[in-house]
Amino acid sequence: MVTRPRRSLFIKYFITLFVAVVVPLMLGSASEAWFAFRDNRLYLNEILQVEARSAADRIQAFTDGIRDQLGWVVQFPWTPGEDDRRRIDGLRLLQQVPAIVSLSMVDATGTERVFVSRVSMNRTGRGADMSADPAVIGARAHRVWYGPVHYQRDSEPYMRIAVAGNRAAAGIVVADINLKLIWDIIAGIKIGDTGHALIVDDTGRLVAHPDISLVLRSGAGAGDFSRLKSEVSAANGSAVTTTGEDGTPVVALSVRAANVDWTVIAEQPVLEAFESIRAALWRSLILIVIGIVFASVLAYWRACRMWGPIRQLENGVERIGMGQFDHRITIQSRDELEQLAIRFNQMAEELGASQQKSERINRLKQFLAPQVAELVEHSDQRLLDAHRRDVVAIFGDLRGFTAFTARAEPDAILAVLKQYYEAVGAVTARHEATLIRFAGDGVMVLVNAPVTCENPAYRGVRLAIDMQAAVQSVAGTWSAGGCAIGFGVGVAMGHATVGTLGYQGRLDYTAIGSVVNLASRLCSMADDGQILLDPIINERVKDSFALASIGERPIKGYDRALEIFAVTRMDASAPTGRVDRAGGSGAERSRHGLTLTETA
């Protein structure tokens, strides 16, 4: 009974066409989105790098300008009575540099001599000892010293800068710098519509931000800026996606500002940074939806056009499978389906002829060996003509069968022979050998004729082993029924004349020659469960099977005695090489499987 498939052909064809259109479209859209994302990321990285570097350069220019202006007031050594002149120089510097809030001029001993300020009272003369001030110590050690950011009145950020003169006698000038003026630098940086830059010092405190109110909160939210600084700095100059100071996802990149060791962070919200990618994804999604609709309509239409003829072909195949080889189908589609219908009809015609031929071969197989029957029907008839060839002749014969037939009923005899013939025939067919004949309880098999094969000696011995095992398995059932019947095998290899013999009404394929006689003699000498081989077979297969010499024996029809060999184990993977006359040690026999025979 023919079972219907779980899925109809219509559904499979529809899905195939649908996938064939939609999958390439989706893969194309995905690859386009990936490359667009990669290009956009590279472009964004370049933009952030440029803006951050620009801010860092402008900060460096700002601090370098103040450093140079401060260096102008410490060009000459301190001399008595010049405090007023130094005070005037300081006031002039406050006018020139608005970022400077106050100046302290220290002489070579570390004593403050002049102090001028925008927010405090000016003073001259010997003041406090500033030799232990970090600014004075740093300026003496490095000539220029940049202090950390600090907040005055808990609002505006300030930084101290100290510059020492070229000579120790020139003294040191220490200036308080209002960093609120750096806001102009940061406020001028625009990245897209909402992107910006900010400056954070090493402690994570905000130095400059476009929203100046954040700067004037005395470092409020320093934890967020410190976290942002550490995450962005870990990328080593590459853009990373993180959370901004206001909690929104941003793409950020950092650059270190020289001299002051500040970190300039350029950032842009993710929503704005990847706006073009989202637009491309939406366009791709719309195209995919349109493609899905188009693919559905196209797949449905094509599946319907294919479903009818294919169902007709399916029905035709089913009827052919039922043996109705005269069935024909008609499809007029003027395409491959019509050609398929024509081929189908031709196949049906050829199957009908093949069935008739197979029936003839099966009838021949009732009288001839299967290989001979196939050659009679298909091959060159000259293969069956008489010719010389190397063959392996195998003879088998039941032991104790004559005594059994003397006392057994005909039905029991025929039952034993039927089991015997089926066992031998199955093994012969499996090894593709030629079963020449059954003669009562005897059997003759040829290997390498009429069909040639590779390594016929090995195949012959392997066939004999399997034949012995098959007969012994059914002999066990005979013994259980009171029938003491055994089986012996003889195998020989040599030249023989092979071909068909008989007359017009009946032909037999057989082999004639001394090798046939020798195999028959070896079979007669074999005991139950024994396989005897001639020297030629032994020489060919001694490295593949465990063999034992049983000595030289006289053979009828031969001038001298021949050395005869026996197969000692059924396993083809048993140890190779010659075995002594005793068949090897007991441990060796038990290690390598069943022993067919052990002779002295």
CATH number for the domain harbouring residue 82: 3.30.450.20
Q: Are the CB atoms for 2 and 275 separated by under 8 Å?
A: no
Judged by average pLDDT, the poorest of 136-150, 216-230, 386-400 is 216-230
Answer for the pair 571, 588: CB distance below 8 angstroms, yes or no.
no
- Asked if residue 599 is part of any domain, the answer here is no
Residue 381: pLDDT over 80: no
pLDDT for the residue numbered 307: 67
> What is the predicted pLDDT for the residue at 573?
45
**Of 338, 364, 390, the domain-final residue:** 364
For residue 387, pLDDT over 80 is answered with: yes
Going from the C-alpha of 33 to that of each of 7, 273, 275, 438, 525, the distances in angstroms are 36, 15, 12, 78, 85
**Could you tell me if residue 422 is inside a domain?**
yes
Structure tokens at 46: 């370049």
Q: Mean pLDDT throughout 422-442?
A: 89
Whether 12 is in a domain gets the answer no
- Report residue 300 as tokens: 């449905």
Q: How far is CA 340 from each of CA 301, 316, 334, rounded to the nearest angstrom?
A: 21, 12, 11
- CA dist 235 and 563 (Å) reads 88
The residue ranges of DSSP E strands in 420-545, in sequence order, are 434-439, 442-447, 486-503, 506-512, 531-533
Q: Is the pLDDT of residue 592 over 50?
A: no
pLDDT of residue 377: 64
Least confident of 243-257, 357-371, 398-412, 523-537: 357-371
Q: What is the pLDDT of residue 108?
A: 86
Looking at the structure, do residues 168 and 97 belong to the same domain, yes or no?
A: yes
Are residues 259 and 397 located together in one domain of the fold?
no
Do 80 and 226 lie in a common domain? yes
Do 426 and 468 fall within a single domain?
yes
Owning domain of residue 87? 24-287
pLDDT at 155: 67
592: three-class secondary structure by DSSP: coil
Among 26-30, 271-275, 299-303, whose mean pLDDT is lowest? 299-303
How far apart are the C-alpha atoms of 53 and 49, rounded to whole Å?
Answer: 6
Which pLDDT score, from 0 to 100, does residue 577 have?
A: 42
Provide the 10 A C-beta neighbour count for residue 532: 28
Which helix (DSSP H) or strand (DSSP E) does residue 537 occupy? helix 535-541
- Per DSSP, the chain holds a count of helices (H) and strands (E) of 16, 20
What is the pLDDT, as a whole number, of residue 541?
95
User: How much is the average pLDDT of 13-18?
Assistant: 73
169: number of CA atoms within 13 Å, CB side? 5
Cα separation values, 260 from 18, 59, 61, 144, 534, Å: 64, 9, 11, 11, 103
At 598, is the pLDDT very low, low, confident or very high (cuts 50, 70, 90)?
very low
Contact at 8 Å (CB) between 246 and 234?
Answer: no
Which of 333, 364, 395 is the endpoint of a domain?
A: 364
Which of 154-158, 194-198, 400-404, 520-524 is predicted least confidently? 154-158
Is the pLDDT confidence value at 484 over 60? Answer: yes
> What's the pLDDT score for residue 357?
74
Question: Counting beta carbons within 10 angstroms of the beta carbon of residue 461, is it exposed (0 to 12), middle (13 to 18) or buried (19 or more)?
Answer: buried
* CA distance linking residue 82 with residue 184, whole number of Å: 37
Residue 86: predicted pLDDT: 86
pLDDT (average), residues 148-174: 83
* Residues 6+ positions from 140 with CB-CB distance below 8 Å: 164, 168, 172
More confident of the two residues 407 and 280: 407
Query: Quick one: what percent of the chain has pLDDT higher than 90?
Result: 22
Number of structural domains in the chain: 3
Q: Is 50 exceeded by the pLDDT of residue 287?
A: yes
Claim to verify: residue 330 and residue 391 sit in the same structural domain: no
**Least confident span in 312-316, 446-450, 522-526:** 312-316
Compute how many other C-beta atoms are within 10 angstroms of the C-beta atom of residue 205.
Answer: 22
Are residue 459 and residue 339 in the same domain, yes or no?
A: no
Tell whether 504 and 358 lie within a shared domain.
no
Angle at 82 between CA 77 and CA 83, to 5 degrees: 105
Please tell me whether residues 225 and 164 are part of one structural domain: yes
Residue 402 lies in a domain: yes
Q: 247 CB contacts (<8 Å, ≥6 apart)?
A: none
Cis peptide bond prior to 535, omega within 30° of 0: no
What is the average per-residue pLDDT within 49-57? 85
pLDDT level of residue 28 (50, 70, 90 thresholds):
confident
Q: CB of 189 within 8 A of CB of 266?
A: yes
In 347-424, beta strands by DSSP E: 387-399
Residue 89 backbone zone (phi > 0: left; psi -120 to 50: alpha; other: beta) = alpha
Res. 368: pLDDT tops 80: no
Whether residues 184 and 154 fall in one domain: yes
Rounded Cα–Cα distance for residues 581 and 600 (Å): 6
Output the pLDDT for position 553. 92
Give phi and psi for 48, each to the nearest 5: -65, -40
Instruction: With respect to residue 478, please indicate whether it lies within any of the assigned structural domains.
Output: yes
What span, in angstroms and rounded, lies between the C-alpha atoms of 56 and 50? Answer: 10
264, 254 Cβ separation under 8 angstroms: yes
User: What tokens were used for 441?
Assistant: 């309880």
In a domain, 189, yes or no: yes
- Angstrom distance (rounded) from CA 142 to CA 163: 9
Domain final residue pick, 335, 364, 393: 364
Could you tell me if 220 and 111 lie in one domain?
Answer: yes
Least confident of 109-118, 282-291, 398-407: 282-291
Going by pLDDT thresholds of 50, 70 and 90, the confidence category of residue 363 is low
Between residues 301 and 466, which one has the greater pLDDT?
466
pLDDT tens digit sequence for 305-327:
676 777 777 788 888 777 777 87
How many Cα atoms are found within 13 Å in the side-chain-facing hemisphere of 125?
A: 1
pLDDT of residue 515: 93
Cis peptide before 450 (omega within 30 of 0): yes
Mean pLDDT across the chain, nearest whole number? 81
88-120 pLDDT, tens per residue?
888 898 888 888 999 999 988 888 889 999 888
- Between 581 and 261, name the one with better pLDDT: 261
Q: Token digits for 8?
A: 């109809």
Distance CA 588, CA 388 (A): 42
Both 426 and 350 in a single domain? no
Do residue 134 and residue 157 come from a single domain?
A: yes
Q: Is the pLDDT of residue 555 over 80?
A: yes
Are the C-beta atoms of residues 487 and 470 closer than 8 Å to each other? no
Between β-strands 196-200 and 506-512, what pairing exists: parallel, antiparallel or unpaired?
unpaired
Q: Residue 313 domain-assigned?
A: no
pLDDT for 32: 76
The CATH number assigned to the domain holding 471 equals 3.30.70.1230
Residue 586 has pLDDT above 60, yes or no: no
Question: Which among 112-126, 250-264, 353-367, 474-488 has the top mean pLDDT?
Answer: 112-126
Give the type of residue at 127.
Answer: G
Rounded Cα–Cα distance for residues 591 and 598 (Å): 15
Query: For a pLDDT cut of 70, what percent of the chain falls above it?
Result: 86
Confirm whether 584 is domain-assigned.
no
Read off the tokens for 60. Answer: 């460096």
Do the Cβ atoms of 495 and 513 come closer than 8 Å? Answer: yes
- What does the CA dihedral 142, 147, 148, 149 come to, rounded to 10 degrees? -150
**Range with the poorest average pLDDT among 14-18, 77-81, 196-200, 227-231:** 14-18
Contact 63, 69 (CB under 8 A): no
Q: Would you say residue 228 has pLDDT above 90?
A: no
Stated as kind and residue range, the H or E segment containing 254 is: strand 249-257
